[in-house]
Amino acid sequence: MFSRYRRDTQSQPVTITGIDQVPPAPPVNRAPVAQSRPSPKPKPARPADMAQPDASEKRKQRINHIKSEMHKRLLEDLNLAALEKAPEAEVRGEIAAITAESLSDFDIVLNQEERQQLNKDLYHEVMGLGPLEPLLADESINDILINGPKKIFIERKGKLELSDITFRDDRHLMRIIDKIVSAVGRRVDESNPYVDARLRDGSRFNAMVSPVAVDGALVSIRKFKKDKLSIPELVEFGAFSPEMALYLEAAVATRLNVIVSGGTGSGKTTTLNALSSFIGNTERVLTIEDTAELQLQQEHVGRMESRPANMEGKGAVTQRDCLRNALRMRPDRIIVGETRGEEVIDMLQAMNTGHDGSMTTIHANSARDGISRLENMVAMAGIEMPLRAVRSQIGSAVNLIVQVSRLQDGSRRMMSITEITGMEGEIITMQEVFRFERTGIEPDGTILGHFTGCGLRSHYSERFHRWGFDLPASIYDHASAR
Ligand SMILES: Nc1ncnc2c1ncn2[C@@H]1O[C@H](COP(=O)(O)OP(=O)(O)OP(=O)(O)O)[C@@H](O)[C@H]1O
Ligand SMILES: [Mg+2]
């Protein structure tokens, strides 16, 4: 069968065949594959075989083998460049037709379900990211973590589990990695063994390949969620209490400078995104990120994404470059996805000089630790400033630190909301206004606890009042006193 999507390897006239007109398989140009063909003895699948776990496992392996052979043929036979522009239904039809044609070469009879699965898998191999496609399509998966071709872990509801999906071998995995990174004009190989990229659906992608990755390529994918968790959803999921939500609304709307602090995957970006919903629709907001993940709902949002250097080491645009430029773009607020380096200087300056209401995240384990991280970042940026001066910069720039954590049971919670209240001597003073109090643990590992005020009225109460946010004093009470 020939169609405009088949390679014209023998200069035969190309005719377009309808998808459903699948003629009996002609002998196509596949000599190399023929050598590895299975024995010609017909051996139809016997349902009795499938009843035994061993037999069904063998059948699965056999289908996998056939899939791999068919994939090779498809790559040989198909004109991939033409397929790129073809409508999806047509490509699926074409793949189904070639599969039907080639199946007669293997002594196996597939049931309808197996055949559909095979067509689907082959479509994903040819047009998409192979075994990753079903994981990317599964909305309930947050993270995909690959340790070599045979171990793909997925995170669902905060829990990591080993999936039953695998790559054929390291080459198969490398081919998919190459496909991802070449689509964004990057390369990954021995001399350049790690890469950060963004998938076409917005998911964050990082890969490290051998020899630095010892047991096969390591890949981490943070799935992009179109529907980011909103404040009401986070309250419903128990990430923080309605009282905390009320307080955070006042804090963001009255333009306090907020830092969301937390560990890896603790929900920092999600929290930052949800907090941004309290920003007024008339404000001009500029966002700066290494990988654009934030999805602000406001009308007036300018998004920037930093860029690493190219292969020649040129063309890098750092978060700091973006931030400096952003200051010339008349922003009302600046949001930096994660402050992790020299951009801290400009971030603190921006917060101190009229761009109040700015927000960012940092990687730290507590509010106090967050302050130390900021101090270290300033020191690492090579700024010669006495510690006291650095602290006073930080103390006057940052108003609020929101600490988020991923607990052992997989739940993500706001562990504390801490206000910076000023300086005493060399020390930055702070007060905790809300926290999560752990009370115990269930036999199944579920962590028990509740959110509570810490009994202290907000340092910013006066400001809230001036801006029209009169929060009931009872929200700050200890939970037992409410
Ligand atoms: N409270 C929550 N309840 C359920 N899922 C959550 C919650 N907060 C975040 N998530 C999910 O957890 C995953 C990680 O969240 P997020 O990207 O916000 O973490 P992060 O701290 O920014 O991670 P990183 O350090 O990698 O940047 C996301 O898939 C997100 O949808
Ligand atoms: Mg993040």
Of all atoms in ligand 1, which is nearest to the CA of residue 143? 29
**Residue scoring higher pLDDT (73 or 146):** 146
Q: What is the pLDDT of residues 398-443, one digit of tens each?
A: 999 999 999 999 899 999 999 999 999 889 999 999 999 999 999 9
Q: Output the CA 428–ligand 2 centroid distance in Å.
A: 26
Q: What is the pLDDT of residues 180-200, one digit of tens each?
A: 888 877 888 888 899 988 888
Burial class of residue 286, CB neighbours in 10 A (0-12, 13-18, 19+): buried
Q: Which residues lie with the beta carbon below 6 Å from any ligand 1 atom?
A: 142, 222, 225, 229, 234, 237, 239, 262, 264-270, 412
For residue 196, give the ligand nearest its CA: 1
CA 35 to chain centre: 43
Q: What is the pLDDT of residues 46-99, one digit of tens each?
A: 444 445 568 888 888 888 888 888 887 877 777 766 776 778 888 888 888 888
Is the confidence at residue 290, as pLDDT, over 50?
yes
Residue range 231-481 in CATH 3.40.50.300: yes
Give the Cα separation of 66 and 36 in Å (integer).
11
Is the confidence at residue 394, as pLDDT, over 70?
yes
For residue 405, give the ligand nearest its CA: 1
For residue 238, give the ligand nearest its CA: 1
Which pLDDT value is given to residue 481? 67
Average pLDDT for 19-38: 38
Which pLDDT value is given to residue 356? 86
Of all atoms in ligand 1, which is nearest to the CA of residue 361? 22
Of all atoms in ligand 1, which is nearest to the CA of residue 272? 18
% residues pLDDT > 90 (the chain)? 53
Of 143, 144, 261, 270, the one to substitute when testing ligand 1's pocket (max ligand atoms within 8 A of C-beta) is 270
Is the confidence at residue 382, as pLDDT, over 60?
yes
Give the Cα separation of 153 and 165 in Å (integer).
9
Average pLDDT for 230-242: 95
Q: Whose CA is nearest to atom 8 of ligand 1?
A: 267
Measuring CA to CA, how many Å separate 285 from each of 14, 125, 413?
55, 40, 27
Number of residues assigned to the chain: 482
Is the confidence at residue 470, as pLDDT, over 60?
yes
Q: Output the CA 240–ligand 1 centroid distance in Å.
A: 14
In CATH, what number does 135-222 get? 3.30.450.370
Q: Where are the domains of the chain?
A: 37-127, 135-222, 231-481
Q: Say which residues have a Cβ less than 8 Å from residue 188's Cβ, sequence separation at least 6.
A: 177, 178, 181, 194, 195, 207, 209
Q: What is the pLDDT of residues 119-142, one digit of tens each?
A: 888 888 888 888 899 999 899 999
Q: Output the CA 298–ligand 1 centroid distance in Å.
A: 21
Of 141, 157, 269, the one to substitute when testing ligand 1's pocket (max ligand atoms within 8 A of C-beta) is 269
Q: Whose CA is nearest to atom 28 of ligand 1?
A: 142
SS3 state at 37: coil
Residue recorded with tokens 């934030």:
294
